[in-house]
A and B are shown apart, each in its own frame.
Chain A
Amino acid sequence: MKERILSCVRRALEHRPSPVLPDPLTLPSLSREEAVALFTERLSGNGGEVVRLPDLKGSREWLEGFAQSFSGAAVSRMVPPVLYPALPALPPEEAPLGISWAIGAVAETGTVLLSSREGRRTQLLPPTHLVFVPEETLYATLLEALQALKGDLPSAIGLHSGPSKSADIGQVMVRGVHGPGRLVAALIAELSD
C-alpha cells in the first residue's frame, strides 16, 4: 500500500518544478529582563498567572504559602526535592494540585514547555497546575525554544499557554474544560544559591 501511494505521488509530481525551501524566519531576541516582562504579559493575557522568585530558597518559602489552600498534590519527579510541598502526595487523578518542572518557556507566546519524562498525567489531570520555570530556559521566541529542544526530544512535549478553555457552549468562554483551569508559572531567577 505504501508503494502504491508513493508511486501515485511520484506520478503526480512528474515534470513539476521544485520550489526552494525558504530559510526560517527569525524574530529579534530579547534580554533576560525583557523576556521575563514579555512572558509575564503574554501568559497573564492568556489567563495564566506568573510569579517571579529569586532562587530555590525563595521558591520554597513562596511554595509554603501557596500550598496552604490545597489538600494534596501530585509532584513530578523532575521537581527538585526542596520544592516538594508539605502536602499529602496524591495520584494525579485525585490531586487538586499538580506540580511540574518545565524544560523551557517562551516569552513571545507566554508558554511553558513540559516533557513527558516527568509524567503527563500530572500536567493534565489536577485542576490547578503549578509549573516551575528556571529563567535560564526562558527563550524569547518559539524558534529559539524549538532549536534548543531539537537535539533531545522526549516522547512527548506539551506546550501550555494558559488554562484549558472552550467557547463551544454558545460562544461563552469557559475555563477548566478537561485540562487544568488554573495555570501558575513560577519563574526562578537563579538556580544556584
Chain B
Amino acid sequence: MRVRANEYPKESARVIREEPHVRESVTGATLNFDAKRRAAYAEVDSEQWRHFAEDVKNHVLMNLEHYLEQAATALERSGVRVHWAEDAEAAQRIVAALVREKGVRRAVKAKTMISEELGINPLLEGLGVNVLETDLGEYIIQLLEQPPSHIVGPAIHLSLEQIRRLFHERFGTPLDAAPDTLAAAARKLLRQGFLEADLGISGANFVVAETGTLVLIENEGNIRLSTSAPRLHLALVGIEKLLPRFSDLSVFLSLTARAATGQRLGTFVSLIQGPRRPDEIDGPEEVHVVFVDNGRSSVLADDEAWETLRCVRCAACLNACPVYRQTGGHAYGYVYSGPIGAVLSPGLVGLENTKPLPYASSLCGACFQACPVRIPIPKLLLTWRHRAVEEGLTPRFEKAAIKGYALAMTQPWAYRLASKALRLLPEKALDNTVVPVLQAWVEGRAGLKPSSKSFRELWEEGL
C-alpha cells in the first residue's frame, strides 16, 4: 500500500477539524477495549504471562532461521504448499500465479493486516477476481473503499448513524435499522460469498513450528468459514509470526485475546494443520502458505527496532494511546497505526517515509503497560526521533526553535525576555501565526493564550 505517513501532522489536524465524530467514535471504542483489557489482565498473573510471552518471542526471533525451517518442513509434511516472498511484489506474483493456475474467480478474505501491507485487494481486482472482505468491519470499510483504521476493529471510526446510512443506500435497510438487522443483511450476502468462493485468503496470528499449525483468532466465524468452505486456502504470514511449541499457544491465545478485547479466548480459534485429508468430508483441497519478509529481516538486523517483531497485533497499545484516540488510524498514513505503527512503520518502509510518526506520542508509557509482549514502545519512539535528527530528517525551523529553547532555558535573562515578549503579543496573534511550528499547532486546535502574568510574578504575589 502507498505510504502517506509524512502527511501525518496535516492529516491529523484535518481529521480533528473536519471529522469530529471520528474522535468521538474512536475514543468511545478504545476506552471500552482498554477497560476490558485491564479487567482481563487483572484476572491472571499477567506480569508473569507477559514476561513469558516476551521470552518465548525473543527466543524464536533470535533463532528464526531454525524455526522457519522447522515450520516449513512440518507444513509440507501435512501437504501444505509453502512459498516465500521477499517483498510485496514477490507476494503479489505468487498470488497472481495461483489465481491464474487454479482459475480463481471469487475470493473471500478473512481480516488480515498483511494483505493490506502487500496490496492484495487491488491485485486481485486487477486480475478480475471478485473479492469479498468477510469480517463485518472490513466489509463495511470495503463498501466505503477505506483502509482499516484499527487493527482489531477496522471500522471503529464510523458511528452507527454512518453505517445505517451506508446500508440504507446499498441494501435498502431502514434508516433506523437496529444493528442486528444490519448485520443480518450483511450476513446473507456474505454467506453466499463463502459458498461460492474458490479461494479463501487469511493471515495467521501464529504459526507453530513444531506441528506446522496455522493459528487464527476471531469472533465472528468468518475466518473459520473462509478457511473451510472454498476449495483453496491461502495464508499470508509474516516471518516473525512463529511460535516454537504447540503448548505455547495456551499462553499466547489467551494473552492475545485478553490484550485485544478482554476475552479469555477469541470466540473462534482455528488450528489448521493442512488441507482436507482423504477421510474428511469437507475443507480446502489445497492450503498454501506464503512466508513474507517485506522488510522484516532488516528490522531483525536492527539492534533496537527488532523488538517490534514480537508484536502480536492485538491493538492494546492503540486502545491505551491518548494520541491515537484523537484521530483514529487513517491519519497515520500506513496500514499499522497508533503506537506500534509509529515504531514499526519506520523499520518496515523507511524513516524518511514515516518521519512524523515517532513524534505522534506524548511518551506517557501507557502502550508499554498494555503490551502483552512488553515491546518498549516509548524507548523506541525516542530511538527513531534520535535517528531522525542524526539523519537530518527534521525540519530546519525545528533546529532553530530547539536552539532558541535551549538558550531560553539555560540563560535566565533570555527566558525572562522571551516570556515577556510572548505575553505582550496582542490577543489572537498566535491564532494566525506565521511561525511554522506554531502554525501546525493551531491548525487543529484553539489558539494559544499566554497568561497576562508570568508564573514568577504570580509566585511572588503568593499565587
Contact = CB atoms under 8 A, between A and B. Distances in A.
Interface string A1-13: 1101110111111
Contacts of A9: 64-65, 68, 239, 297, 300
A189 B29 CA distance: 42
B420 to A, nearest CB: 49
Contacts of B155: 168-169
Contacts of B72: 2
Interface of B: 25, 28-29, 32, 48-49, 52, 55-56, 58-59, 62-65, 68-69, 72, 78, 83-86, 90, 134-137, 140, 153-156, 158-161, 163, 179-180, 182-183, 186-187, 190-191, 194-195, 211, 213, 219-222, 224-225, 227-229, 239, 244-251, 253-254, 263-277, 279-283, 291, 293, 297-298, 300-301, 306
B136 A168 contact: yes
A119 B249 CA distance: 24
Contact of A2 (B84, B135, B137, B211): B84
Contacts of A167: 153
A179 B268 contact: yes
A139 to B, nearest CB: 10
Q: Is the interface of A mostly helix, strand, loop or mixed?
A: loop
Contacts of A163: 267
Interface residues of A, number: 68
Nearest to A157: B271
Nearest to B299: A12
A170 B24 CA distance: 11
B220 A177 contact: yes
Contacts of B300: 9, 12-13
Interface in A104-119: 108-111, 116-117, 119
B282 to A, nearest CB: 5
A142 B58 contact: no
Interface of A: 1-2, 4-6, 8-13, 16-22, 24-25, 42, 46, 77, 93, 108-111, 116-117, 119-121, 123-124, 141-143, 146-147, 150, 153-172, 174-180
Given A5-B84, A153-B213, 14 more contacts: A13-B64, A24-B247, A110-B264, A111-B265, A124-B221, A142-B249, A154-B277, A158-B270, A159-B271, A160-B268, A166-B137, A166-B220, A178-B134, A179-B220
B283 A170 contact: no
Contacts of A180: 221
A19 B273 CA distance: 28
B65 A6 contact: yes
Given A24-B248, A178-B190, A179-B220, A155 B265 contact: no
A106 to B, nearest CB: 8
Contacts of A159: 253, 265, 268-271
10 contacts: A6-B65, A8-B297, A25-B251, A121-B228, A142-B250, A147-B247, A169-B182, A174-B183, A178-B190, A179-B224
B36 to A, nearest CB: 11
